[in-house]
A and B are shown apart, each in its own frame.
Chain A
Amino acid sequence: MRELKYREAIDEATRQAMAKDERVFVLGVGVDDAKGIFGTTRGATLEFGPNRVFDTPLSEAALTGVAIGAALRGLHPLLVHARNDFLMLTMDQLVNNAAKWRYMSGGSMRVPLTIRAIIGRGWGQAAQHSQSLQAMFAHVPGLHVVMPATPADAKGLLLTALTTEAPVICLEHRWLYEKTGPVAEEAYYTPLGHAAVVRQGTHVTVAAMSLMVLEALQAAESLAAESIAVEVIDLRTARPLDSETVCASVAKTGRLVIADTGWRSYGVSAELAARVGRECFGDLRAPVERVALPDVPTPCTSALERAYYPGAAEIGAAIRATLLVRGRAPAAPSVEARGKEFSGPF
């Protein structure tokens, strides 16, 4: 199958959605400029022109409300943010309006609204340009939160979002943008709330999302050399959260590591751990381990960034921890953190 970069897959999904449905239009700060949100809106700009792809003032709160209003009147806006941190400016519109309009109106109205926002990382982007805020949105009934890890899912989940008659927030990790993978040429629709088993294994399950799926696969590869068979699950969506697929895997492995791009406390990893503890308690043979960000803001200096971000090494250590409970001695730690492939400036 043809290979595309993650960002190219987003661009293609956008163009295909717009070609199929004239209700879809794109707005956001800088969407029609020469860079086009790292290339993801450039194709749509060139193909569909200024009536369907247009720039906006830096008024994120109002523009989110504007998008809701357009959605209530029969359009499907795709609102794009270069960083998900800016969504904090739009929380009233997202939480009080977009998420609730259907419910509050007794089902007489719907808000078909797709929001794309990027999770930044590295090159000293510091505390306000690197947050991974999926838990903030996933907490709210009425919102959907998708976190594609592969180019194929970046396309399939965005196409699904753009045909869903409800608000969907797509969080895209900046470090995935240049990754390549097989992507089917035609439009296809990846269902929300269906995790994917991306590597089979029998000893330990790792449930990961977004960039952490790649880190988990690397950890699994390293441990395979020691005959530790790790099953890796790509959660794909944070809400709805497919704990069923995770439990089916835990039934086999008895051990679970959750790898989240967000903070450890109160996050998606906590929700998943709680569900697994409830739904397949009897299958667990070790406490659930979590690999997530420490509960501090993102520092700027690379010296502290290195300490801040967990990766394959930490996932590997967590996998070993789940095995240690049964008294199984691990081989000497050998897992290397993934090499730097991304650098600034932005």
Chain B
Amino acid sequence: MPPLAPERLKGFYVQMTRIRRAEEAIVARYPEQEIRCPTHLSIGQEAVAVGVCQALSEQDVVLSGHRCHAHYLAKGGSLRRMFAELYGKATGCCGGKGGSMHLASPETGMLGASAIVAGTVPIAVGAALAAALRGSDDVSVAFFGDAGIEQGVTHESLAFAALRRLPVVFVCENNLYATLTPLSKRQVSADVSPRAVAHGLPGVSVDGNDVLAVYEAAAHAVARARAGDGPTFIEAKTYRWREHVGPNFDVELGYRTQAELDAWMARDPLLRHARILETSGVLTAAERLALDREVEAEVADAVRFAKASPFPEPAALYADVD
């Protein structure tokens, strides 16, 4: 794979920073009780969403699950409309009717998210089927977690996609926990990707905290899909820093250790990428700070926009039902 241009590498950093800062703003604002919906944060997992979406073109589509902020933003969703959605406002990306778990931005290719684990995996396959039937070369991506592979519908989807060689990339974000339950209590193997091989599609495991590794695997999978060579399964091994749902850390619950969390935080995908950019001279520390400031301003603007936006009128309750 040819080396990425410096601007692209900086773009990866900005994308990940936008997700990180946006979710940190949620952490800061959540106690105000104005974001009145369950939020599942991706802090620590940003490299997966960004690495994959950077390998996509604008007309490609993604689907996601309850932890969907990162996928929405990485696929070009509006930051303002995301915060407005979290605040339940009419200007939200779903008019306030979806909330944190159902972010959608069809105009940028984010087709939505289901709060039922793996619920959108077959929908991504269907988007790929539509592309195949229409003869377009659009690719679709299904984002799901390590628990997603425990759902029967995922296996049905993998098998059907392989059977018809559909242009879809399955991205399993393995963050080791389903709510509070570790992978070891749920699955016989620590590796998820070999499960895909049984269904007749290649399965690879990558370091999900290395945005370049994720990008490379995704770019390869997307190229395969676009060339008509069928689906690929990517397991991105990563880690959720905060609680399953909500803004806090939760080590005190005892299901994981501080040492484990520290070890993963030391592998922060954002800092890791920043260091690479700094060492290779792509982005100096000063330039990075300037980029951070820009993103922080963007996030602050989005929060202001959300807070200043109106709530939907009561009549909206009955709109867009059937």
Interface residues of A (CB under 8 A from B): 25, 51-52, 56-57, 59, 61-75, 77, 92-93, 96-97, 101-109, 141-144, 166
> What is the CA–CA distance of A231 and B123 in the complex, to the nearest angstrom?
46
Q: Is the CB of A66 within 8 A of B123?
A: yes
B193 at the A/B interface (Cβ < 8 Å)? no
- Interface residue from B98, B111, B129, B322 paired with A106 (Cβ < 8 Å): B98
Q: Is the CB of A62 within 8 A of B160?
A: yes
Interface residue range, chain B: 35 or more
Q: Among the listed stretches B48-56, B88-96, B221-229, which one makes contact with chain A, having 4 or more residues with CB under 8 Å of it?
A: B88-96
> What is the CA–CA distance of A40 and B47 in the complex, to the nearest angstrom?
50
Q: Is the CB of A69 within 8 A of B106?
A: no
Residue among B96, B98, B131 with the highest chain A CB neighbour number at 10 A: B98
Q: Is the CB of A73 within 8 A of B127?
A: yes
Q: Is the CB of A105 within 8 A of B106?
A: yes
Q: Is the CB of A65 within 8 A of B130?
A: no
Contact with A along B65-107 (1 / 0, CB 8 A): 0000000000000000000000000001111111000101011
Q: Is the CB of A70 within 8 A of B163?
A: no
Q: Known: A69-B128, A141-B322, A142-B321. Is A61-B156 also a contact (CB below 8 A)?
A: yes
- Interface residue from A52, A66, A141, A142 paired with B129 (Cβ < 8 Å): A66
Q: Which residue of chain A has the shortest Cβ distance to B95 in the bound complex? A: A106
Q: Known: A70-B130, A106-B95. Is A61-B321 also a contact (CB below 8 A)?
A: no
Q: Which residue of chain A has the shortest Cβ distance to B152 in the bound complex? A: A61
B213 at the A/B interface (Cβ < 8 Å)? no
Residue among B116, B119, B130, B163 with the highest chain A CB neighbour number at 10 A: B130
Q: Is the CB of B125 within 8 A of A65?
A: yes
Contacts of B129 in A (CB 8 A): 66, 69-70
Q: Which residue of chain A has the shortest Cβ distance to B81 in the bound complex? A: A106
- Interface residue from A70, A96, A104, A108 paired with B126 (Cβ < 8 Å): A70
Q: Is the CB of A73 within 8 A of B131?
A: yes
Q: Is the CB of A65 within 8 A of B126?
A: yes
Contacts of A62 in B (CB 8 A): 121-122, 125, 153, 156-157, 160
List 9 other contacts, CB 8 Å, given A66-B122, A68-B126, A107-B320: A65-B153, A65-B157, A68-B123, A69-B63, A72-B130, A73-B130, A97-B123, A102-B321, A108-B104
B140 at the A/B interface (Cβ < 8 Å)? yes
> What is the CA–CA distance of A41 and B322 in the complex, to the nearest angstrom?
27
> What is the CA–CA distance of A52 and B156 in the complex, to the nearest angstrom?
21
Contacts of A71 in B (CB 8 A): 126
- Which 7 A-B residue pairs are closest in the complex by CB-CB distance? A69-B126, A65-B122, A106-B95, A62-B156, A107-B320, A59-B156, A73-B130
Contacts of A107 in B (CB 8 A): 95, 319-320
- Interface residue from B63, B112, B119, B128 paired with A93 (Cβ < 8 Å): B119
Q: Is the CB of A103 within 8 A of B320?
A: yes
Interface hits, B271-309 → A, CB 8 Å:
none
Residue among A64, A65, A92, A109 with the highest chain B CB neighbour number at 10 A: A65
B15 at the A/B interface (Cβ < 8 Å)? no
Q: Which residue of chain B has the shortest Cβ distance to A58 in the bound complex? A: B156
Q: Is the CB of A63 within 8 A of B160?
A: yes
Contacts of A104 in B (CB 8 A): 94, 97-98, 102, 104, 112
Q: What distance in Å separates the Cβ of B148 from its nearest Cβ neighbour in chain A?
A: 13
Q: Is the CB of A97 within 8 A of B126?
A: no
Q: What distance in Å separates the Cβ of A243 from its nearest Cβ neighbour in chain B?
A: 17
